[in-house]
Homo-oligomer: A and B are copies of this chain.
Amino acid sequence: MSLLVVGSVAFDDVETPSGRRVNILGGSATYFSLAASRLHPVQVVAVVGDDFGPEQDAVFQGRPIDLTGLVRQGGRSFHWRGEYGLDLNEAKTLDTQLNVFADFHPALPESHRHASCLFLGNIDPHLQMDVVRQMASRPRWIGLDTMNFWINGAREALMRVLGEADILFINEAEARSLTGERHLLNVYEKVRSMGPRILVVKRGEYGVALFTPDGMFVAPAYLLKEVADPTGAGDTFAGGFMGYLAATDNVGLETLKRATLMGTVLASFTVEQFGTGGLESLSDNAIHGRYAAMHDLIHVVRA
């Protein structure tokens, strides 16, 4: 199944208890595509400015990532500045400069309009909807990410695009804010009534809770001795998850559970280093090793 992501390709300034980096490559479509491409080819639709040069381009090269849909425009790329305290589960945004993203209206190349898996990264829900409308045929899977900024600021547009989505990827606090519910079973009921059949609640270092009509699955994060930078963990997770779906024909609950473990494993490599460093240097062996370790971490022999 072909896989398409629409989101941001950006520059980040990040400060965490482990250190500080400026002007590093980031953005939802960046993390998503670097993760997904380990499992399946992926097409990227995004916009960058003229500060996106050969150094950034090189990160995507040599991988099955199609940048035909990456628009290069005069001006500066989207820029995010944030920091994390000792609680690594939540970023504090210090500054957001939309730059070329401000007037971005994604126009899908003809070759991208037939994707069977579509991931709508965390951008303005109006743009997310615009992308859905450009699809020539209804994708098998539409995954969507969002955040408080849109939940509070563009709720109607968000509700419309949620009505089109199959899978909602969302942070736990934002899932509560979206639905007004405290407990995840109730959150899922509300989310289902908004459209998505499948809900993935991202819980930071506590892992992920997956809700589907056929059953639930709660998985911890992979345990690490150090976390350098949590930025991109959620988009990496979504990339691993959707990449796994795109690479698999069977789409039952077991596939969704394994997709959850794969997303978890890839996210563990992202947070070990600043920016995309952990994904760039990653070997297939390392992925398979952690995937097996995740199984061990949660496995109990049925008594």
Footprint of B on A, CB under 8 Å? 86, 182-186, 203, 206-207, 209, 215-220, 223-227, 254, 257-258, 261, 295-303
CA distance A76 to B104 in the complex (A): 70
**A206-B203, A300-B254 given as contacts; is B220 within 8 A of A220 (CB)?**
yes
Q: Give how many copies assemble into the complex.
A: 2
Residue numbers in B under 8 Å from A257 (CB-CB) = 300
Q: Could you tell me if A183 and B227 are in contact, using CB atoms closer than 8 angstroms?
A: yes
Q: Which listed residue (B218, B220, B299) contacts A209, Cβ 8 A?
A: B220
Are B297 and A216 within 8 A (Cβ)?
A: yes
Residues of B within 8 A of A299 (CB): 299-300, 302
Do A218 and B184 touch (CB < 8 A)? no
Q: Which residues of B have CB within 8 Å of A186?
A: 225
With a CB–CB cut-off of 8 A, which chain B residues contact A220? Answer: 207, 209, 218-220
Q: For A185, give its contact among B219, B224, B298 (CB under 8 Å).
A: B224
A-B contact pairs, 25 of them (CB 8 A): A183-B223, A183-B224, A183-B225, A183-B227, A184-B223, A185-B224, A186-B225, A203-B206, A206-B206, A207-B218, A209-B223, A216-B223, A216-B297, A217-B298, A217-B300, A218-B223, A218-B297, A218-B298, A219-B220, A219-B298, A254-B301, A258-B303, A261-B300, A299-B299, A299-B300
